[in-house]
Chain A
Amino acid sequence: MSARVLLIGMGGLGCPVASILAQRGPSAPPLALTLLDDDVVDGTNLHRQTLYSPRDVGALKVERAAARLSEFAAASRTSIELHPVCKRLTPDNARDLVASHDLVIEGADNLPTKFLTADAAALERTPVVHAGVVRWSGWVKAVVPGRGACMRCVFEDLPADRVETCADAGVVGALVGVMGALAGGLAIRLLRGEVAAADAITRVDALAGKARTSRVRARASCALCGVVPSITDVALARYAPVCAGA
């Protein structure tokens, strides 16, 4: 039976991740990939969202991505089912969406969606790969429930102040591709059962020319995966402002 992967966000991170999964080649196991995003292609996306071209501006990202990925899969003889879903991840649908997949890859462009994904994945005991990137910096982390640190072990909660996003701070397009490739690699390792992929966080500073992988451990006091977790649902108020979109 095909592994079922949910890819949240078909933007800068989602595009390279999906490209990797759709071009694993004929010897790779079959995969069912759900592409989740409710956004349309914008001209400002094109420098980093590599599945889209100028003629796609205005079209739904998930539909254009699915079309392009089908071409990649056919050319590389990769067995993959593509399921474009034009929705955003919300507290109302997060747990159901996660529960119907074996692995989640999160490439959202905002922290509320990242934390919502982390919480839903932990509550549904589903592995997840997280990634984030802005300006010249990025990070990527795999999470396997019950093994090592979850996202809240590392970044405990949403900041009260606004955090930079690509839209307002900008991002180096090529770096997004690098982080997406790292996320794709972690996803493939998890699909192979290599749970040790969850033992570290990798950070890249492209301006300084440095990449670092640091071991991270689960915190006993973590509100999500600790000894006495206080997060037992995905209540809307926890992710205010409401998720801006995957």
Chain B
Amino acid sequence: MAILVRIPTPLRTLTGGKDEVHAEGADVRAVIDDLEKQYPGLKDRICDEKGVRRFVNVFLNEEEDIRFVDGLETALKTGDSLQIVPAIAGG
């Protein structure tokens, strides 16, 4: 199923400037893998060998941190959206 994924500013160089993209997958892991096929290099900015990178958050439907659901195995359904939120340093 197609999932809307909101891309933060620092990662938009990899999506051709798009702030919203669609990817296919029944869970978060599958969606990230599909994002990698469409936009090579994106997965490495979100995940490392242990899972979602420590300074990155992934929210489900703007509300739920996936770490409190099932992490990368969080199931998705039609109409769901994911938001990738990295730590931002500037001030």
Could you tell me which A residues sit within 8 Å of B by CB distance? 9, 11-14, 107-111, 114, 131-139, 154-159, 163-166, 169, 171, 176, 201, 203, 205, 207-208, 212, 214-217, 219
Contact status A157-B9, CB under 8 Å = no
Q: In whole Å, how far is B53's beta carbon from the nearest beta carbon of chain A? A: 7
Q: What is the CA–CA distance of A154 and B83 in the complex, to the nearest angstrom?
A: 14
Chain B interface extent, by class? 20 to 34
Task: Check if A212 sits within 8 Å of B54, measured CB to CB.
Answer: no
Query: Min CB distance, A131 to chain B, in Å?
Result: 7
Q: Is the CB–CB distance between A164 and B19 below 8 Å?
A: no
Can you offer 21 A-B residue contacts whose CB atoms are under 8 A? Answer: A109-B89, A111-B55, A132-B87, A133-B88, A133-B90, A134-B9, A134-B89, A134-B90, A139-B85, A154-B57, A156-B54, A159-B54, A163-B87, A203-B83, A205-B8, A214-B65, A214-B83, A215-B63, A215-B64, A217-B65, A217-B68
A12 touches B63 (CB 8 A): no
For the complex, give the distance between the alpha carbons of A139 and B9 in Å.
12
The answer to the question of B37 belonging to the interface, with a C-beta cut-off of 8 Å to chain A, is no
Contact B91–A216 (Cβ < 8 Å) = no
Interface centre among B8, B59, B85, B91 (most CB of A within 10 A): B91
Would you call A171 and B55 a contact (CB within 8 A)? no
Complex Cα distance, B83 from A202, in Å, reads: 13
Q: Say how far A174's CB is from chain B's closest CB, in angstroms.
A: 14
Q: How far, in angstroms, from A147 to B4 measured CA to CA in the complex?
A: 32
Fill in one digit per residue for B60-83: 1 if any A CB lies within 8 Å of its CB, else 0: 001111011000000000000001
Knowing A159-B55, A214-B59, say if A132 contacts B91 (CB, 8 Å). yes
Residues in A with CB closer than 8 Å to B83 are 203, 212, 214
Instruction: Write the chain B residue with the least CB distance to A167.
Output: B90
Residues 36-62 of chain B, each 1 if its beta carbon lies under 8 Å from chain A, else 0: 000000000000000001111101001
Measured between beta carbons, the chain B residues less than 8 angstroms from A171 are: 90
Bound together, the chains give a CA A215 to CA B62 distance in angstroms of 8
**Contact assessment for B9 and A207 in the assembled complex, using a CB-CB cutoff below 8 Å:** yes
Question: Closest residue of chain A to B48, judged by CB?
Answer: A160
| Min distance, Cβ B9 to any Cβ of chain A, angstroms | 5
